[in-house]
């Protein structure tokens, strides 16, 4: 009889709990109530473990609700979770930078993201010759950092920076060789703006500072870069310097270019380049990156024919005009060049490059005339290079000839400043050049080559041997 009131209270509590749980489910219809059987079953089930507790409870004391609820009340039905919010849509480039859209500025194509490619090229060499001024030894070559960025399918940027190691110091000079933006309007027309190599002959247009991508250990002298140097030797003051050995033809220009390929009769292509930019400075090696020194821009044109019937064959013509400014002065301030000099260059090139054959030939005619005076001078020069690959080995031969007039005041006085402590005065640019290079190249890997070469300078009567390891990363 003592347990009967407790059973009654428990039955009523379970009914109230079930009703409360059903009331908290707004989206679920209430089930038909069957209180008698279910309550009885629940009470009978809960009776056994709570007999001792019910016998210990005083009948005159109200029942304690908390322990009863913890042990006997069924857990409330779980509340349905709210529906997950949809994932936010990706933010477009227009939303990130609305000021970059419209007004003729194209938003970034979602299908193409800018890419960047970094290449590093360098070389290490050993040279021995019978030049009394120089000593045999190893030499670190230039380090070229070539960065190419594809900004879109039609726009790309190119940056070529060269670190030139000084001969006697643990340091290097930094030169920006190329830096331009190219916009391809169509396969027949692209525009470039910035500093680039000139298109005078094929060798200058195709080859940069990376010697691993060139057959021989050095460029032909006539198209050597403006800051090219020869072997190091010790000056009377004890300084170790490189002899400057710049080329005769200008190789870099800051300005704009239009270039492209025009299809002819389906198989033959005509490659063209038109350039307008700053011309030469007062001396060889003076590159004008911020402005020209006169009102005459330098103009360039190249036309190259690539017949489809003979793969690898290219024949072309190049023309160039510039007005070299006057005003060059010597170390003591005396003027060396009184008048401007008009410079005309014509070049012809023929190349057949299809493995295993590598044949390149170029001919240059350069004409200088002083404005207003009529004094003139001419230069004729060129080279022929032949290589034939047999597996990873490529024996090669290059012959270079050059002859210029002795009275050319630009080549006689346009050399580097003798006051420059990091360069030698050196001789005037040679009036004649007869050089032969006989060598063997072995490709260690796709971007690594070992070269062994015998350069023979018949005009200076200097003969030697050069070993070189050139590589790219």
pLDDT of residue 169: 59
- What does pLDDT average to over the chain? 79
- Give a three-class secondary structure readout of the chain: CCCHHHHHHHHHHHHHHHHHHHHCCCCCCCCCCCHHHHHHHHHHHHHHHHHHHHHHCCCCCCCCHHHHHHHHCCCCCCCCCCCCCCCCCCCCHHHHCHHHCECCECCCCCCCCCEEEEEEEEEEEEEEECCCCECCEEEECCEEEEEEEECCCCEEEEEEEEEEECCCCCCEEEEEEEEEEEEEEECCEEEEEEEEECCCCHHHHHCCCCHHHCCCCCCCHHHCCCCCEEEEEECCCCCEEEEECCCCCCCEEEEEEEEEEEEECCCEEEEEEEEEECCECCCCCCECCCCCCCCCCEEEEEEEEECCCCCCEEEEEEEEEEEECCCCECCCCCECCCCCEEEEEEEEEEEEEECCEEEEEEEEEEEEEECCCCCEEEEEEEEEEEEECECCEEEEEEEEEEEECCCCHHHHHCCCCCCCCCCCCCCCCCCEEEEEEEEEEEEEECCEEEEEEEEEECCCCEEEEEEEEEEEC
Q: Among residues 305, 301, 304, which one has the least CA distance to residue 274?
A: 301
Which residues are paired to 357 by β-bridges? 354, 388
Residues in the chain predicted with pLDDT less than 70, given as ranges, are: 1-112, 167-171, 414-428
pLDDT of residue 79: 57
pLDDT in tens, 62-98: 434 444 343 444 555 555 555 555 555 554 443 433 3
Delimit the domains of the chain by residue range.
Answer: 4-72, 114-472
Cβ(147)–Cβ(159) under 8 Å?
Answer: yes
pLDDT of residue 75: 52
Cβ(195)–Cβ(208) under 8 Å?
Answer: no
pLDDT of residue 424: 36
pLDDT in tens, 418-446: 444 444 334 568 889 999 999 999 999 99
Query: 114-472 has which CATH code?
Result: 2.40.160.10
pLDDT of residue 327: 81
Angle 49-50-56 (CA atoms, 0-180°, nearest 5)?
140
């Amino acid at each position: 009889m003592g347990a009967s009131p407790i059973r009654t209270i428990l039955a009523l509590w379970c009914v109230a709990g079930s009703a409360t749980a059903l009331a908290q489910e707004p989206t679920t219809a209430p089930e038909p109530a069957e209180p008698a059987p279910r309550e009885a079953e629940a009470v009978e089930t809960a009776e056994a473990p709570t007999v001792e507790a019910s016998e210990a409870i005083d009948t005159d004391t109200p029942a304690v609700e908390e322990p009863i609820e913890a042990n006997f009340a069924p857990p409330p039905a779980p509340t349905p979770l709210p529906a997950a919010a949809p994932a936010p849509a990706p933010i477009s480039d227009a939303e990130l930078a609305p000021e970059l859209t419209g007004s003729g500025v194209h938003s970034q194509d979602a299908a193409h993201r800018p890419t960047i490619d970094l290449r590093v090229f360098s070389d290490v060499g050993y040279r021995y010759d019978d030049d009394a001024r120089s000593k045999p030894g190893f030499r670190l070559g230039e380090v070229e950092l070539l960065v190419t960025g594809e900004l879109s399918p039609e726009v790309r940027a190119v940056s070529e920076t060269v670190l030139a190691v000084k001969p006697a110091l643990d340091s290097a000079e930094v030169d920006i060789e190329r830096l331009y933006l190219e916009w391809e309007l169509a396969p027949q027309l692209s525009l470039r703006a910035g500093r680039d190599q000139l298109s005078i002959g094929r060798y200058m247009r195709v080859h940069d500072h990376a010697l691993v991508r060139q057959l021989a250990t050095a460029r032909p002298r006539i198209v050597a870069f403006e800051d090219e140097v020869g072997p190091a030797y010790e000056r009377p003051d004890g300084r170790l310097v490189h002899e400057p050995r710049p080329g005769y033809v200008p190789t870099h220009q800051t300005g704009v270019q239009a270039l492209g390929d025009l299809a002819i009769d389906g198989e033959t292509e005509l490659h063209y380049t038109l350039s307008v930019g700053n011309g030469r400075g007062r001396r060889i090696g003076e590159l004008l990156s911020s402005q020209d020194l006169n009102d005459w821009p330098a103009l360039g044109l190249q036309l190259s024919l690539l017949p489809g019937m003979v793969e690898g064959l290219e024949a072309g013509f190049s023309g160039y005009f510039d007005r070299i400014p006057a005003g060059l002065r010597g170390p003591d301030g005396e003027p060396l060049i009184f008048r401007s000099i008009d410079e005309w260059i014509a070049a012809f090139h023929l190349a057949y490059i299809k493995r295993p054959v590598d044949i390149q030939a170029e001919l240059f005619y350069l004409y200088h005339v002083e404005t207003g005076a009529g004094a003139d001078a001419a230069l004729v020069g060129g080279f022929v290079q032949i290589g034939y690959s047999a597996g990873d080995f490529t024996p090669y031969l290059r012959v270079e000839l050059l002859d210029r007039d002795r009275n050319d005041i630009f080549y006689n006085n346009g050399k580097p400043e003798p006051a420059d402590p990091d360069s030698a005065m050196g001789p005037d640019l040679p009036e004649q050049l007869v050089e032969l290079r006989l060598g063997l190249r072995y490709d260690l890997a796709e971007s690594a080559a070992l070269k062994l070469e015998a350069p023979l300078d018949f005009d200076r009567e200097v003969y030697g041997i050069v070993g070189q390891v050139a590589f790219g990363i």
